[in-house]
């Protein structure tokens, strides 16, 4: 097949998206240039529009309209200012909001400490978190990080950094996911669920 | 979280990509607008460039440079003009070229017959195939379609349409994939491998 530099460039861009490998990117690129519905044009326009209308929230790091910064979640009057939820990714804010169990403020780190991927504390919004917590007024900082090795390491590091800030530092509970069976649980989850057992 | 129309539009565009569901599209959109490396800009530019430099090949339906139509595979002098390989998707041409086992020409249908997805014969490049085969000069048409229900139905339909065209209509062999074990084969594959058994 002929080498098409324009197609290769598009493929390389698509492969930078989360969860997209080189074969998937190739498939997407071909679809984009051959889509009869004008997907390539629509996507290019949507990207340009999003770039001009959407920015990162200066407070929580999530996304917001260019003319509304900090974002609605950071400024909503009916939320608890004493409670701060720290997440890895703005996406996690969406997920937590959907569950409806949290009414405080958010702070997205924009990643996690990952020596393998060359991402250290300085690549994250940890300094911004420290400043925010240092301003006082917080009762509790909830670390809602992923429950894998890197998430755990990031949580430990942040707990250490925030030591003595006056607010309580907590993590989400470990345990069995809803609707799952003991039989299907992995050993780590089950051990953590046992350690965290609660009165019935 | 605030509704951001620009972000929602971008998410909707991304969800039109193959293999991308709404949650994945959301995650991609957030990454795009928050990427510090300017991925949104790069992707928008790459899309615009690809739209102007890459078109569908008028002959095989795959992609080619705007100033080279039909594509290199359709015009290469060292390929067998008597052999035509029919595929569902331009992507499949890439895959078959990589395997190195085919030296004829190609014809991409741009999909397959799928009543569930509302895609019938008229949505595919079947009429173009009929015209191409009708011009004569072909010894054999190899149907290299996927081996699922819709691929089988599409192959049967095309075999029917091309009946009496003078060329032999064949399909790829069914059987065990390389490197697999009998133990791990599903019943259909195994039955087809038995039916197609060959002298050792």
Residues B43-86 pLDDT 10s: 999 999 999 999 999 999 999 999 999 999 999 999 999 999 99
Q: Identify the closest residue of chain A to B4 by CA–CA distance.
A: A65
User: In what helix (H) or strand (E) does residue A30 lie, and over which residues does it extend?
Assistant: helix A22-34
Given this model, what pLDDT does residue A195 score? 78
Average pLDDT, chain B: 89
Given this model, what pLDDT does residue A148 score? 84
**pLDDT (tens digit per residue) in A22-58:** 989 999 999 999 888 899 999 999 999 999 999 999 9
Residue A119 has pLDDT above 90, yes or no: no
* Count of A-B CB contacts under 8 Å: 180
Residue A1 has pLDDT above 70, yes or no: no
Inspect the interface and report whether the beta carbons of B37 and A16 lie closer than 8 Å: yes
Degrees to nearest 5, angle at CA B153 with B151 and B157: 115
Kindly report the pTM of this predicted structure.
Answer: 0.75
DSSP secondary structure, A33-96, as one string: HH-TT-HHHHHHHHHHHHHHHEEE-TTTSSEEETTS-S-HHHH-TTS-TTEEEEESSHHHHHHH
Mean pLDDT of A158-164: 92
Beta bridge partners of B84: B105, B141
Inspect the interface and report whether the beta carbons of A14 and B72 lie closer than 8 Å: no
Mutation target to probe the A interface, by most A beta carbons within 10 A, among B1, B55, B102 is B1
Per CB-CB distance under 8 Å, the chain B contacts of A27 are 18-19, 91
**pLDDT (tens digit per residue) in A58-110:** 999 999 999 999 999 999 999 999 999 999 988 888 888 888 888 999 999 99
Q: Identify the closest residue of chain A to B91 by CA–CA distance.
A: A27
Q: Which residue has the tokens 């958010």?
A: A106
């Amino acid at each position: 097949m002929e080498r098409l530099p324009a197609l290769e460039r598009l493929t390389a861009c698509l492969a930078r998206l989360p969860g997209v490998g080189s074969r998937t990117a190739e498939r997407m690129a071909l679809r984009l240039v051959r889509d009869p519905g004008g997907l390539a044009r629509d996507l290019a326009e949507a990207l340009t529009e999003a770039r001009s209308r959407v920015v990162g929230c200066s407070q929580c790091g999530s996304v917001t309209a260019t003319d509304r910064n900090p974002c609605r979640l950071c400024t909503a009057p009916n939320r608890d200012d004493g409670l701060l939820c720290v997440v890895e990714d703005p996406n996690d804010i969406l997920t937590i909001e959907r569950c409806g169990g949290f009414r405080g403020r958010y702070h997205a780190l924009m990643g996690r400490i990952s020596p393998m991927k060359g991402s250290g504390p300085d690549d994250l919004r940890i300094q911004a978190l420290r400043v925010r917590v240092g301003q006082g007024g917080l009762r509790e900082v909830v670390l809602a990080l992923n429950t894998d090795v890197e998430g755990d390491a990031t949580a430990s590091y942040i707990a250490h950094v925030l030591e003595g800030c006056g607010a309580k530092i907590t993590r989400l509970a470990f345990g069995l996911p809803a609707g799952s069976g003991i039989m299907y649980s992995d050993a780590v989850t089950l051990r953590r669920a046992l350690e965290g057992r609660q009165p019935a």
